[in-house]
């Protein structure tokens, strides 16, 4: 399979602190790759490198074969990779339509001043409705984001990333703060939406190992900034040493169940 995203020997240092060391991985079309590891393992740093927020100290990161180190999430989104940011928390008084509309306008290449009157642009308005419908939010378009349930807020964050029409989408803890009952609903919505929207690959950073086991095609485990394992779920959960290193004894039972 041809890699959409690949890193080779990625390292990131902050003074004497080594956040990442010799991280090499590739993500191909059709994959949902989960990045897991304990706090401080380097997950956030790796995500920030993959999405162009920070430049690695060493190594190369490529998207479609082109170096994307440090280009920033806006330029990267225009190339086809989007990251879900928590816009609901940044702009809580915006409506659902406005929140999605910001992403649609930015991807359309039109001036952001259009945001104030995007309701007058039929194409943008239709795209906003289309994205909202994918995530079951079409009935909430006029609602302020702050009034949504926690699960709906998460879906709105993800919908805003999907509105950028990405080939690859990166989701950082998309179910955090959501009830256990809602977590699988959110993940099913994301996977279904990805298929409908033509998203070619998903990168997921997630602590909930039940979700990781259920939805991943591959699991990349980080420990102390290095890749500890890169395996399909069945192999990953059969190795008690990896489970213990990544998420501790509390999920030892998971290793027996997968």
Per residue in 41-75, pLDDT (tens digit) is 999 999 999 988 999 999 999 999 999 999 988 88
pLDDT of residue 207: 87
pLDDT of residue 73: 84
- Asked if the model's pLDDT at residue 28 lies above 70, the reply is yes
- Give me the mean pLDDT over the 219-238 stretch: 95
Pairing of strands 32-36, 58-63: unpaired
Angle subtended by helix axes 122-134 and 96-108, to nearest 10:
120
- Give me the mean pLDDT over the 171-187 stretch: 88
Which backbone phi and psi does 226 adopt, to 5 degrees? -120, 155
pLDDT of residue 114: 46
Domains of the chain: 1-80+202-258 (3.40.50.300)
- Asked if the model's pLDDT at residue 103 lies above 90, the reply is no
Could you tell me the two tokens for 252? 């030892």
* Band (84; pLDDT cuts 50, 70, 90): confident
């Amino acid at each position: 399979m041809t890699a959409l995203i690949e890193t080779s020997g990625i390292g990131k240092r902050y003074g004497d602190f080594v956040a990442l060391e010799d991280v090499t991985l590739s993500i191909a079309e059709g994959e949902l790759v989960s990045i897991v590891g304990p706090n401080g393992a380097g997950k956030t740093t790796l995500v920030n490198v993959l999405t162009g927020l920070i430049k690695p100290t060493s190594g190369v990161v490529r998207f479609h074969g082109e170096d994307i180190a440090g280009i920033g999430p806006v330029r990267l989104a225009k190339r086809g990779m989007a990251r879900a940011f928590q816009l609901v928390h940044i702009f809580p008084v915006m409506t659902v339509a406005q929140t999605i509309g910001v992403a649609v306008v930015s991807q359309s290449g039109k001036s952001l001043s259009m945001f104030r009157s995007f309701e007058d642009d039929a194409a943008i308005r239709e795209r906003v409705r289309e994205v909202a419908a994918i995530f079951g939010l079409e009935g909430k378009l006029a609602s302020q984001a702050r009034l949504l349930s926690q699960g709906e807020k998460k879906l709105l964050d993800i919908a805003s990333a999907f509105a950028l029409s990405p080939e690859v989408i990166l989701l950082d803890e998309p179910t955090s703060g959501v009830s256990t009952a809602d977590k699988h609903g959110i993940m099913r919505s994301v996977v279904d939406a990805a298929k409908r929207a033509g998203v070619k690959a998903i990168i997921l950073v997630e602590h909930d190992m039940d979700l990781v086991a259920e939805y991943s095609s591959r699991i990349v485990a980080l420990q102390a900034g290095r890749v500890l394992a890169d395996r399909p779920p069945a192999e990953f959960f059969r190795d008690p040493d990896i489970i213990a290193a990544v998420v501790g004894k509390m999920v030892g039972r998971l290793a027996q169940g997968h």
